[in-house]
Chain A
């Protein structure tokens, strides 16, 4: 149980490639924080720096208030679960889980007690004397978690632990992982590129892009008030629609000549500036008969649909433009290519971003 604090954490690889640039974050005791972002955004590098597997080029890393930049991985009291499990192939499941405890010089009966406890928790009792190669992917991943649990570390680190598993198993292990966190009440730092995994597991999500954290917040915060266009695009499936608009003298945002919203006085933009209007596919509706107050109306030319059973996702373009538009409707719907659909969206569900910087504009 511990807090993790990173201050201006920076990683520059020899050769000048900068992987992480001045990242700040505080992870509370018992918190489940997920670092999410596209590949190469630096999320794994941060995790590996916390673990001590990568040297820290700049900034400070504090675990439980103590600066641990220069401590060996083994001295940081952390445990890590790797994407490829990293089980020792020549040792049995029991030996794998014992390895860390033996290195710590624990008493035999304590080791036995901890192993049986963890094996029971993870339903591994029948596999303790098998070698990793005799186990399925899901079982291997549970052994990897068991190896972390028996150590009873201050912080658990997970590096894309579920991405080698098939979809069904992933969903199942996700639930187990969440239950495990509730039970252990330990600090979890979890890296993934899968936003669904991030949304379903995290207490707080840190969305990363190009070596920086774009936003940290609860899943609902990042969904409802994305701080940047990147976050808005990354979180949510299907992804948010973006339509270009312009700001007029009165602070109104116009799309295609139609007034869609009034931006507050604080807007740092001058008249005529480009603004990106974002709206999620699930917030678009078909009842656009009357452009009443508080509604934005919009027309789309459909191209094709994906019928998912519970929902239908319709893909197309904003009428008269090349901007892609996606619409998600409950139930089963059918469209013909080229069909014109009139749509409406509650302006409360619109997001505005500076077209230049991608930053969120007020509201």
Chain B
């Protein structure tokens, strides 16, 4: 399981990577926004994308849209982990094809639950 973590704050990437390692996911890579993340996704055989929303350069929502419109990546499971918590934003992300949405601050168990649910659905 190869996971890409996209967030502009290195500390948040580090927290997510640590949580993922605790959950048994050790093969993770990082990008600091959509502009650097998208080429990695396109060439890196990733199985899962965890992205923040609000980032300089390319936002997480734009990254999500780019992933969905790329035929090779269209089915990649995407989990958004973000401080954006307005209803309209969550609906916007859902409409853009996000697989899960976690609002910051979050707990390790929330992250675990959402990741679990996404894989249940993907495998079903």
A and B bind: no
A interface list, Cβ under 8 A from B: none
B interface list, Cβ under 8 A from A: none
